[in-house]
Structure 1
Amino acid sequence: MTPAPAPLVVFDLDGTLLDTHADLVESLNHTIAALGLEPVSYDDLTHLVGQGARVMIERACRLRGHSLAEDGLPLLVERFVAHYAGNMPGHTEPYPGLVAAMNRLKSTGYRLAVCTNKMESLAVGLLDKLDLVSYFEAITGGDTFQYRKPDARHLTGTIERASGDISRTVMIGDSINDIAVARNAAVPSIAVPFGYSDVPVSSLDPDVIITHYDELTPELVEGLLKGSAAKVAV
């Protein structure tokens, strides 16, 4: 009997793997200060993140009532990226229990990957600064492909790069983009409530919610995969 392919656990980055809020706010405020705009706060962040730096800057400008000229955006993105990359890892830290959870999964043969709408270079650079890159078979960003979450092809492309099997994959995230991309790719989803969603993650209808990474075990993932396989069989 052919053994089942190794399970693949795909993580979102900001608000899921890493608590990046302080550095995102700091770099965003540095960026919009060039326009003379008032700073944003952590409370604003949940309405701003999720689609990468470009969209975050656009949303911050709208929040502050500033009409941003299209030709002005590239320079602002450059300003944001330079500040963010130049200050890595800043205050960013893995969420409690994450590293132990990844070690548990890796020790039982699981593969891990990252699928984020953050620019790939920033995602890889940040994970490298935190000595976490080696945990992942693939790290894809919002500019890796021509599409990004919640487009299913962002997740399926990540799975392919990680040499995973879509029937043996679970997606973990904190926002609608993560749960939607899992649903669009017909992959089970795990939501975490400690990230940057602007609505309760329960309203996104994930398959499972975990409140701490102590709950992320091989048994939990296998249960989700078996449940998903049973649905397909029906």
Structure 2
Amino acid sequence: MISWPKAVLFDFDGTLIDSALDIHAATNMLLARDGLGPLSLPDVKAMIGEGTRKLVERAFAAAGRSLDDAELDDKYGQMVPLYAANLTKLTQLMPGTTEALTALQRDKVAMALVTNKPDFAIAEILEHFDLANYFPVIVGGESGVPHKPAPDMLYLALEKLGVEAGDALFVGDSPADARSAQAANMKLVLVEGGYSREPLESLGADVVLQDLSELEAALARLAPKG
């Protein structure tokens, strides 16, 4: 057991899982219904990170069509079943995920998953990769609080864990993750290989990792001295 951190909060897409191929496929199926697209994988990757509704809005804008609120509601409603049928066909764990989670569990560090992803998708993907037992607390896209980059999802996870912000850190891969953690006054670790539209070095992280296999060593460096 280690004394710090007491908890580690994780983003999901681009941090623990590489879901871009499945999201890309569902996005292009949605656009094709209106004779639009297809969008490239890099284009869709750059749209991930602030929830499925925002992704749908960005995808239609990139395909040359702006949506009013009613149209966005409709397209989001169509996207949900399309993605639900493609949750784990091509999705893979990010490098080092299982090792990092196992090490934290061994050291009795509490963990929470904090993601803008819809709740139905979270549950199925966690079950598919046998990850559910690592996360006693999950704050997902239907948690009823403002999504990242607001800090509210992190606050809710900390409250559920019974841990103060100074005793925890957040691990993510994107500007939304960075801004959420910074607004919550939490230590921030960012991981390369995800879906950031900005260089990670520009986002003010305490540490940037090549992959999650480096997390355990990073925690030792970030632990308060004395």
Which category of TM-score, normalised to the shorter sequence, fits these structures? Answer: over 0.9
Find 2:222's aligned residue among 217, 221, 224: 224
Aligned to 1:123: 122
The CA deviation at 1:95 is 0.9
Q: Distance in 2 between matches of 1:108 and 1:67?
A: 49
Matched, 1:173 2:161: no
Count the aligned residue pairs: 225
Query: 2:162 corresponds to which letter in structure 1?
Result: S
Q: Distance in 1 between matches of 2:5 and 2:219?
A: 12
Q: Distance in 2 between matches of 1:6 and 1:47?
A: 31
Residue identity over aligned pairs, in percent, reads 31
Kept in 2: contact 1:10–1:113 (CA 8 A):
yes
Q: Distance in 2 between matches of 1:67 and 1:108?
A: 49
Alignment TM-score, normalising by the size of structure 1: 0.89
Q: Distance in 2 between matches of 1:130 and 1:83?
A: 20
Q: Distance in 1 between matches of 2:86 and 2:162?
A: 33
Q: Distance in 2 between matches of 1:161 and 1:32?
A: 38
The CA deviation at 1:101 is 1.3
Q: Distance in 2 between matches of 1:192 and 1:100?
A: 15
Matched, 1:7 2:12: no
Alignment TM-score, normalising by the size of structure 2: 0.92
Matched, 1:67 2:66: yes
Q: Note the alpha carbon deviations across 1:169-221, whole angstroms, 9 max, x for none.
A: 1101111111111111110000111100011100111000110222111x532
User: Unaligned 5+ residue runs, structure 2?
Assistant: none
Report 1:80-91 matches (<5 A). Answer: 80-91=79-90
Matched, 1:92 2:91: yes
The CA deviation at 1:160 is 1.4
Query: 1:91 corresponds to which letter in structure 2?
Result: L
Q: Note the alpha carbon deviations across 1:71-113, whole angstroms, 9 max, x for none.
A: 2222321221112112331111111221011111110111111
Q: Tell me the SS of whatever aligns to 1:35.
A: coil
Q: What RMSD over aligned residues (CA atoms) do the two structures have, in Å?
A: 1.9
Kept in 2: contact 1:18–1:95 (CA 8 A):
yes
Q: Distance in 1 between matches of 2:210 and 2:28?
A: 30
